[in-house]
Amino acid sequence: MTILLKGIQIIHPASSYHNQITNILIQNGHITYIGPEEKTADQVITEPGLCVSIGWLDMRTWVGEPGLEYKEDFWSAAQAAAKGGFTEIMLMPDLQPVIQSKNAVGYVQQRAVGLPVTLHAAGAVTVDVQGKDLTEMIDLNQAGAIAFTDGEATIQQADVLVKALHYVQYFNGLVMQRPRDKYLSQLGLMHEGIVSTRLGLKGIPALAEEVIVSRDLQLLEYSGGKLHFSLLSSAGSVEKIRQAKAKGLAVTCDIASYQVAFTDEDMIDFDTNYKVDPPFRSPADKAALIEGLQDGTIDALVSAHKPQDTESKKLEFDLAEFGIINLETAFAVANTCLKEALNLENIIQKFTTAPRQILNLPIPNLNEGEPANLTLFNPTKKWVPQKASTASKSDNSPFFGTELQGQVFGIVHKSNLVLNPEY
């Protein structure tokens, strides 16, 4: 099959065609021509305002398979990812059973065959993500696990994290930590502050995140290795990582794209679709996150896709599970909320080259002769996500009915063209 992308703008600084509006011919899954000539093709795509970048990668997707397929399975997650512009996603290991064996990694790889996106498995750091005994990380790495994390669980014991950081140095691996002190945050429902006091809800203080960030940076300095903090939410955490980077520590971090969309003030109506962990924090914290994205302290944006079925989400606020589905909206939310703070090139970089550099994965090229791993999108098109048209099995999103700017047209990956039916 041949595909011609006609009059499309290339957004990829590493390419000599960056910012050019040109034609791209794809044959048998490879880019065979980039230039002004109009080639013949089986399918011609010509769409005003369309841009193309290398395929986006989400480094924090939770999928319920195996064990909780009714929330999300590999197929539905892949459809949601493709609709949201992601050609590759990394799956969290805290499932039933946990991804902590070569067979479990192999299961993910086997189930990914035939899907329109690439599924990468992250392996658990500790057995059953209990934070005590290390998994066989060398075996998991050899089987294909590309990073190590306990997912939603935080490695609470300092000695365990030090051992993990030592262990992964044998194969230049990465440990990912979700920073949250379980005792400071237990039973918390939202950000601790004036709003939580007014609503009578137990808060999760920013301190619960910041003490773990501070501790783990000291442990990283002591042990060496590479450490990535996932889902930061507070100004204090951003500043600590900024200082650590200035010292030369091998630390990176990300935030969920939806963290720049809301603050704790949006919780007033007790809508459980806004219940996330870490919680939406104060306007000052939100401003600090944006500043961190601007100056490069925050390396990547993630979807933090966490599907929840109706029985888990449509409950009283204190009983509802945490989480938002965001694969389909991650880019649009960032593009809408950050367009005054970051240019398009920087936003795309947070979804493309940065995640791959963190995970030590090859970065696709957008040049002739290269495999086509591409995302097609219109950064100026406005659209409204609808519950009825979501590709996910779950519908826990605060963005339904909200106008966003920036819509994905489709992806080209694995020799397939997958178009967004809602475009």
- How many whole angstroms separate alpha carbon 62 and alpha carbon 319? 20
- How many whole angstroms separate alpha carbon 55 and alpha carbon 31? 14
Tens of pLDDT, residues 192-205: 999 999 999 999 99
Across residues 119-135, what is the average pLDDT? Answer: 97
User: What is the reported pTM?
Assistant: 0.96
Q: From edge to edge, which strands make up the β-sheet containing 56-61? A: 56-61, 86-91, 118-121
AA letter at 421: P
Tens of pLDDT, residues 229-278: 999 999 999 999 999 999 999 999 999 999 999 999 999 999 999 999 99
| pLDDT, position 1 | 87
Tens of pLDDT, residues 329-375: 999 999 999 999 999 999 999 999 999 999 999 999 999 999 999 99
Across residues 38-67, what is the average pLDDT? Answer: 95
| pLDDT, position 96 | 87
Q: What percent of the chain has pLDDT over 70?
A: 100
| pLDDT, position 358 | 98
List of domains in the chain: 2-51+369-419 (2.30.40.10), 56-359 (3.20.20.140)
Neighbour-count burial of 48, counting CB atoms closer than 10 A to its CB (0-12 exposed, 13-18 middle, 19+ buried)? exposed
Cβ 326 vs Cβ 337: under 8 Å: no
Terminal-residue alpha carbon distance, the chain: 22
| pLDDT, position 264 | 96
Tens of pLDDT, residues 367-397: 999 999 999 999 999 999 999 999 999 999 9
Q: What percent of the chain has pLDDT over 90?
A: 98
Across residues 129-152, what is the average pLDDT? Answer: 97
